[in-house]
């Protein structure tokens, strides 16, 4: 974070050394996180909080796949869902408004794509793609201040409990 007006001290640490992630083999994972490479510090902060919260409440295996950007999240999830059957997907990314309306088109397309896939595969796909006006808003939501990673974990726990009644 090179912008001097941006305070990123509230972010969680990176999850690269987290032993709870099975990056190489997602075949038997209960949850598969598909994250973007854009705004990696923000995305990884949300993932850290998500994983920490999940691990306090339940024992699940968590897999991890990277997608180039938010637009590629739906196709990445579709390719995985056609081969494997996780109990839940988490899509994590960050879209920050620029000078054009590109962010609106992108976020709408991604949201619709994720919803359609969730219905097609009867698998919960949590939308953890932040859409903010500023980098600072993204940092606040991804970090300890508003903690969207924790919110997503709580939703995941509820959806896993709900769907277990029907499978």
Unique residue bearing structure tokens 């619709």: 112
CA angle in degrees (0–180, nearest 5) for 6-137-71: 110
Q: Which residues contact 18 (CB under 8 A, 6 or more apart)?
A: 48, 51
How far apart CA 112 and CA 127 sit, in angstroms, is 10
How far apart CA 53 and CA 56 sit, in angstroms, is 5
Closest CA to 23 of 63, 76, 81: 63
39 is catalytic: no
Helix or strand holding residue 63 (H, E)? strand 62-67
**Catalytic one of 102, 112, 115, 161:** 102
Q: Give me the active site residues, please.
A: 102
């Amino acid at each position: 974070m090179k912008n001097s007006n941006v305070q990123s001290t509230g972010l969680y640490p990176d999850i690269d050394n987290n032993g709870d992630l099975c990056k190489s083999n997602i075949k038997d994972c209960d949850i598969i996180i598909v994250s973007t490479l854009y705004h990696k510090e923000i995305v990884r902060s949300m993932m850290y909080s998500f994983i920490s919260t999940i691990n306090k409440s339940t024992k699940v295996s968590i897999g991890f796949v990277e997608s180039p950007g938010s637009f590629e999240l739906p196709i990445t999830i579709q390719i995985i869902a056609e081969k494997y059957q996780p109990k839940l997907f988490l899509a994590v990314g960050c879209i920050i408004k620029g000078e054009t309306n590109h962010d609106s088109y992108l976020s709408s397309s991604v949201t619709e794509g994720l919803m359609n896939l969730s219905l097609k595969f009867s698998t919960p796909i949590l939308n953890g793609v932040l859409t903010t006006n500023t980098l600072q808003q993204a940092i606040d939501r991804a970090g300890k201040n508003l903690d969207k990673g924790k919110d997503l974990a709580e939703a995941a726990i509820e959806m896993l409990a709900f769907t277990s009644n029907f499978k």
